[in-house]
């Protein structure tokens, strides 16, 4: 009888071990793929993060009306890595109405800032009938499209007057009011999303409250957004922000916080729409040298409009300290490595496109035969307008615009700079040029004015003054191309610096 009992115990132990083995295999193995995890690893399947790069807090700032004094804010925000949105009325943005404002908004976009709609005219919408409301609100969309070549998705009500909200819902993704709407996200009422602060907006007196509020939000469980808005104003004014030294002090305090996404209204709204229409497929391949999976976009998502990168995260084996990321055929570098609850994770920014995208994460960089990005269609455009045509005689304004495309089929353009040399041997360095957020192309550019002057009386640079322009483009693999052009777009020379990263 004893022998039978011992055999029964042994049989039960074997069954239990077999069960554990099968359970472990079902968690860490996938239909015959090579296992890469140990029993101590916890594999987190790929998922789309709530905010960019897995942040739990988002910081938004917006400035209404596209005022000349906004140029002071731009210098400060660029210095500390803060994004912002300019809400611009269409009527005020046309070149023959205010060429300076038109040029400023274009230059804002070429430095990575966001421009959205502030209606066609800056009026109290509730004072107009339904037909007029729709016409004004629609013009707030078509005016931006006509002027800058992209579709705005966020609308800020002029004067906080929410008349015609049904048309805002028709033509825009979100309508922003000046009512206090807390820090919750996503909105419960998309056509009337409020801000975090009071309806008086941010001003010189309450600037000091921004770090206090952001700290409270940051330490509140869940996902939250600081939604600030204001108007810039001349120094000494009692409305909006006019003490720019105080503003810089505050921005310095709240910049660079870990786990905070500093972004714009347009980018946050687009991210929210995209993440609900993009999914990770279940056919995940995990091998010794790579992990591979697919992102799928629903056919109804208009990726010409909603085209900001979303973040996909997953865990990696602990020994994968220097991975390489490939999206379809392109090698990219917009990713970060973080440890969450002692689990190493990778966070990858992926720009949406129709259909499927195959994401492949290599343990080590494979052998790559690649050259630096190409620079195409370089030109300096000169435009002359009659500004304020109501005046007699109207004033003529001439601006020169630097434009070109930077293209890379195998990797990712990560840095674009330009050095402009004048015939008097003066040089101006335009650093960290950006492809405008919603343009969905490879365009870069700048308005040619002195980048070291930050006030409304900008020093313009004419095309005739330009001797040469050198464009410096760097890709995600460390390759650099420097191409120098004359004022007419003729190529003078090209220098290529290849990275050692192209080797195994």
Average pLDDT along the chain: 87
Q: Could you report the per-residue pLDDT of 86-109, keeping only the tens digit for each? A: 999 999 898 878 878 898 999 999
Whole-angstrom distance, CA of residue 181 vs CA of residue 491:
54
Start-to-end Cα distance in the chain? 66
Query: What's residue 40's pLDDT?
Result: 38
What sign does the CA torsion over 275, 188, 86, 391 have?
positive
Q: Could you report the per-residue pLDDT of 429-484, keeping only the tens digit for each? A: 999 899 999 998 999 999 998 766 554 456 788 899 999 999 999 998 889 999 99
Whole-angstrom distance, CA of residue 254 vs CA of residue 210:
8
Residue 339 clears pLDDT 50, i.e. is over it: yes
Q: Can you tell me whether residue 248 is helix, strand or coil?
A: helix
In this structure, what are the phi and psi dihedrals at residue 375, rounded to the nearest 5 degrees? -115, 125
Query: What's residue 98's pLDDT?
Result: 80
Q: Could you report the per-residue pLDDT of 43-71, keeping only the tens digit for each? A: 789 999 999 999 999 999 999 999 988 98
% of the chain with per-residue pLDDT over 70: 87
Query: What's residue 301's pLDDT?
Result: 97
Whole-angstrom distance, CA of residue 163 vs CA of residue 354:
36
Query: What's residue 15's pLDDT?
Result: 46
Residue 121 clears pLDDT 90, i.e. is over it: yes
Left if phi > 0, otherwise alpha if psi is -120 to 50, otherwise beta: which for 195?
Answer: beta
Length of the chain (residues): 504
How far lies 386's CA from each of 100, 394, 395, in Å?
Answer: 11, 6, 5
In this structure, what are the phi and psi dihedrals at residue 75, rounded to the nearest 5 degrees? -60, -40
DSSP 241: B
Closest CA relative to residue 294, chosen from 279, 309, 306? 279
Residue 423 clears pLDDT 80, i.e. is over it: yes
Contacts of 426 (CB under 8 A, 6+ apart): none
The H or E element containing residue 48 is: strand 47-48
| Minimum mean pLDDT range among 139-143, 232-236, 351-355 | 232-236
Residue 208 clears pLDDT 70, i.e. is over it: yes
Q: Can you tell me whether residue 247 is helix, strand or coil?
A: helix
Whole-angstrom distance, CA of residue 501 vs CA of residue 126:
60
């Amino acid at each position: 009888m004893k022998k039978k009992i011992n055999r029964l115990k042994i049989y039960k132990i074997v069954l239990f071990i077999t069960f554990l083995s099968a359970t472990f295999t079902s968690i860490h193995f996938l239909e015959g793929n090579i296992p890469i995890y140990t029993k101590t690893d916890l594999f987190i399947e790929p998922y789309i993060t709530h905010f960019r790069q897995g942040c739990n807090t988002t910081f938004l700032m917006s400035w209404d009306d596209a005022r000349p004094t906004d140029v002071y804010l731009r210098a400060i925000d660029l210095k500390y890595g803060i994004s912002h949105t300019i809400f611009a009325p269409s009527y005020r943005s046309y070149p023959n109405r205010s060429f300076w404002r038109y040029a400023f908004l274009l230059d804002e976009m070429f430095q990575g800032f966001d421009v959205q709609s502030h209606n066609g005219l800056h009026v109290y919408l509730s004072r107009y009938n339904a037909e007029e409301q729709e016409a004004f609100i629609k013009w707030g969309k078509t005016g931006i499209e006509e002027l800058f070549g992209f579709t705005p998705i966020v609308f800020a009500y002029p004067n906080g007057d929410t008349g015609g909200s049904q048309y805002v819902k028709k033509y825009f993704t979100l309508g922003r009011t000046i009512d206090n709407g807390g820090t919750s996200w996503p909105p419960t009422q998309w056509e009337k999303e409020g801000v975090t602060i009071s309806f008086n907006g941010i001003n010189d007196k309450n600037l000091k409250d921004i770090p206090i509020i952001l700290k409270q939000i940051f330490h509140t469980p869940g996902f939250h957004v600081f939604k600030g808005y204001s108007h810039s104003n001349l120094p000494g004014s009692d409305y909006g922000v006019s003490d720019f030294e105080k503003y810089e002090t505050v921005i310095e305090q709240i910049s660079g916080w870990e786990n905070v996404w500093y972004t714009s209204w347009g980018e946050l709204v687009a991210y929210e729409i995209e993440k609900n229409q993009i999914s990770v497929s279940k056919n995940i391949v995990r091998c010794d040298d790579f992990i591979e999976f697919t992102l799928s976009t629903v056919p109804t998502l208009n990726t010409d409009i909603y085209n900001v990168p979303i973040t996909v995260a997953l865990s990696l084996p602990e020994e994968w300290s220097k991975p390489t990321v490939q999206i379809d055929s392109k090698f990219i570098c917009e990713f970060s490595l973080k440890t969450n609850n002692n689990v190493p994770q990778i966070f990858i920014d992926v720009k949406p496109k129709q259909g499927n995208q195959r994401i492949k994460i290599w343990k080590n960089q494979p052998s790559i035969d690649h050259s630096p990005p190409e620079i195409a269609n370089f030109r300096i455009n000169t435009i002359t307008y009659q500004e304020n045509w109501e005046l007699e005689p109207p004033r003529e304004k001439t601006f020169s615009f630097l434009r070109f495309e930077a293209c890379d089929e195998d990797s990712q353009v990560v840095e674009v700079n330009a050095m402009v040399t004048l015939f008097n041997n003066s040089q101006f360095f335009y650093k960290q040029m950006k492809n405008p957020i919603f343009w969905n192309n490879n365009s870069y550019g700048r308005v040619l004015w002195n980048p070291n002057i930050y006030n409304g009386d900008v020093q313009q640079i004419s095309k005739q003054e330009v001797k040469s322009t050198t464009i410096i483009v760097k890709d995600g693999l460390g390759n650099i191309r420097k191409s120098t052009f004359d004022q007419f777009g003729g190529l003078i020379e090209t220098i290529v610096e290849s990275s050692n990263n192209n080797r195994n």
